[in-house]
């Protein structure tokens, strides 16, 4: 391939890739161009040449897509937090359907060509939806800035008016940055780990309560910062500190302590409320979470006699939607604080049919089965890395009758379906736009055990119990 970095080339964009970039072909080689849209004819500059593909920077658009819009965000091109704000929102939803189809074609689980992929459910107002964000902090001369790293860099882009961030939390973080500078608290950089490195902020949609975590490399006196924040923002309910002393890219360290306020904030979804401690996971778009959980409830279709396992349960949020509908509900999560929240939430709601344990699903589920517990239904909501290999083996081995997979990464979903489709049929996939203006989507997958697998399991159990099968035949 006779192409060099900095070379300028014309390109016709044939489709869009999984990261929202435009894709075309130059001399039969794939070219990825961030910011370009399907159908456009562009002029771009090569930035990287690999054996099988080229990366390029968009220079000019010679033929413009009719679905291109002007991104309203002033830092859109430098931030990188949103990838497709320049695409009309209706077309963003179609793009997210296509993401699923691309991922399925790549990994090719059995029968994927015939899967029912339902249109993506979008938002009426896809702005200011993000109720949680981790703002990185850096010091520039005498000014502390809070924001996100630009894509593939260590350059911090200051976020002062993010169009997808909740307005209240944005105002609080802006104040936090000024106060960190005013009171001269040390700020993290790559050479020194001792300062404030991250500020996590979350706001509950149901109650409006706000929770904050300062992530720092050592113990610091945050009292003047907290005092000023509390005086100005009555919504602030909890302030915590997390100690992160290593140079790893992990957001949090192991130790978290509350330094002001309540241990948890109160949130609600569907018809129930629950507590969220600072480290506990909850979806960042509460409005669409209502939609997502509603779709999960429809897909799982449980009965009063069913025993349900909620893997990756967090504080119990998605499982609580089923607690009144099933005979028993069990959940696990690797974050002990989340499990304690789940137990407290279940007790407060009066559920006496729940059990929660801290640990991994691949360890806990086999133990439960060894103890005699049998699940009729399973719901999984894993992180972006998808299901652990051991958990996949566990699911295939025990294969509950009904299963719902809630995914935040279409690639790992498609990969996991290859294994799951050994024992399950995919009835449909429902995409939900949890992250407008980004190249990410959520999906709810309804899975039902294959008929032949049920029959095979039936006969195996009879043989293990040494029952004369000739009587049945």
Cβ neighbours of 367 (radius 10 Å): 11
Helix (H, G, I), strand (E, B) or coil at 82: coil
* Crossing angle (nearest 10°) for helices 389-398 and 361-370: 30
| Distance between CA atoms of residues 305 and 307, nearest Å | 7
Sign, CA dihedral 331-337-341-347, equals positive
Helix (H, G, I), strand (E, B) or coil at 20: coil
The answer to whether residue 44 is catalytic is no
Query: Which region holds residue 444: left if phi is over 0, alpha if psi is between -120 and 50, else beta?
Result: beta
Sign, CA dihedral 17-20-21-23, equals positive
Single out the residue of 336, 312, 285 nearest to residue 442, CA to CA.
285
CA distances (Å), origin 13, targets 32, 39, 89: 9, 5, 19
| Distance between CA atoms of residues 451 and 428, nearest Å | 17
**Which structure tokens are listed for 344?**
């407290």
- Residue 150 has phi, psi (to 5 degrees) of -60, 155
Place of tokens 């949609």: 205
Q: Which of 408, 421, 454, 460 is catalytic?
A: 408
Is residue 211 within 8 A of residue 241, CB to CB? The reply is no
**Which structure tokens are listed for 327?**
């005979």
Place of tokens 């780990």: 193
Write out the catalytic residue numbers: 408
């Amino acid at each position: 391939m006779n192409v060099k970095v900095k070379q300028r080339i014309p390109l016709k964009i044939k489709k869009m890739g999984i990261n929202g970039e435009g894709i075309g072909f130059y001399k039969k080689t794939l070219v990825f161009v961030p910011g370009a849209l399907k159908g456009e004819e562009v002029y771009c500059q090569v930035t990287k040449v690999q054996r099988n593909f080229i990366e390029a920077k968009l220079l000019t658009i010679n033929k413009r897509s009719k679905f291109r819009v002007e991104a309203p965000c002033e830092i859109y091109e430098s931030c990188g937090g949103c990838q497709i704000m320049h695409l009309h929102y209706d077309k963003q939803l179609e793009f997210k359907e296509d993401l699923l189809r691309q991922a399925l074609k790549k990994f090719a689980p059995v029968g994927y060509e015939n899967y029912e992929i339902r249109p993506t459910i979008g938002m009426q107002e896809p702005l200011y939806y993000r109720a949680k964000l981790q703002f990185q902090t850096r010091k520039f001369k005498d000014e502390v800035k809070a924001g996100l790293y630009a894509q593939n860099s260590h350059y911090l882009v200051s976020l002062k008016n993010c169009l997808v961030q909740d307005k209240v939390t944005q105002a609080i973080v802006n104040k936090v940055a000024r106060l960190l500078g005013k009171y001269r608290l040390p700020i993290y950089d790559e050479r020194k780990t001792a300062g404030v490195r991250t500020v996590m902020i979350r706001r509950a949609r149901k109650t409006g309560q706000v929770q904050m975590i300062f992530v720092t490399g050592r113990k610091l006196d945050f009292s003047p910062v907290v005092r000023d924040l509390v005086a100005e923002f009555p919504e602030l309910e909890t302030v915590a500190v997390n100690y992160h002393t290593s140079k790893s890219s992990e957001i949090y360290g192991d130790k978290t302590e509350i330094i002001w306020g309540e241990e948890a904030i109160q949130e609600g979804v569907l018809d129930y409320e629950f507590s969220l401690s600072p480290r506990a996971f909850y979806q960042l778009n509460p409005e669409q979470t209502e939609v997502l959980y509603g779709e999960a409830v429809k897909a799982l279709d449980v009965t009063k006699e069913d025993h349900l396992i909620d893997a990756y349960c967090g504080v119990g949020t998605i499982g609580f939607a089923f607690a009144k509908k099933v005979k028993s509900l069990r959940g696990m999560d690797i974050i002990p604080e989340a499990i304690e929240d789940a137990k407290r939430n279940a007790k407060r709601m009066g559920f006496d049919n729940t059990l929660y344990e801290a640990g991994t699903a691949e360890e806990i589920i086999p133990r439960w089965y060894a103890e005699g517990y049998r699940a009729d239904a399973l719901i999984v909501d894993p992180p972006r890395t998808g299901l652990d290999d051991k958990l996949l083996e566990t699911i295939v081995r025990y294969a509950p009758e009904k299963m719902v997979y809630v995914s935040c990464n279409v690639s790992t979903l498609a990969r996991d379906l290859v294994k799951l489709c050994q024992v399950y049929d995919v009835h449909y996939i429902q995409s939900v736009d949890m992250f407008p203006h980004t190249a990410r989507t959520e999906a709810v997958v309804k899975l039902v055990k294959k008929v032949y697998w049920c029959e095979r399991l039936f006969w195996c159990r009879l043989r293990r119990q040494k029952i004369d099968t000739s009587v049945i035949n």
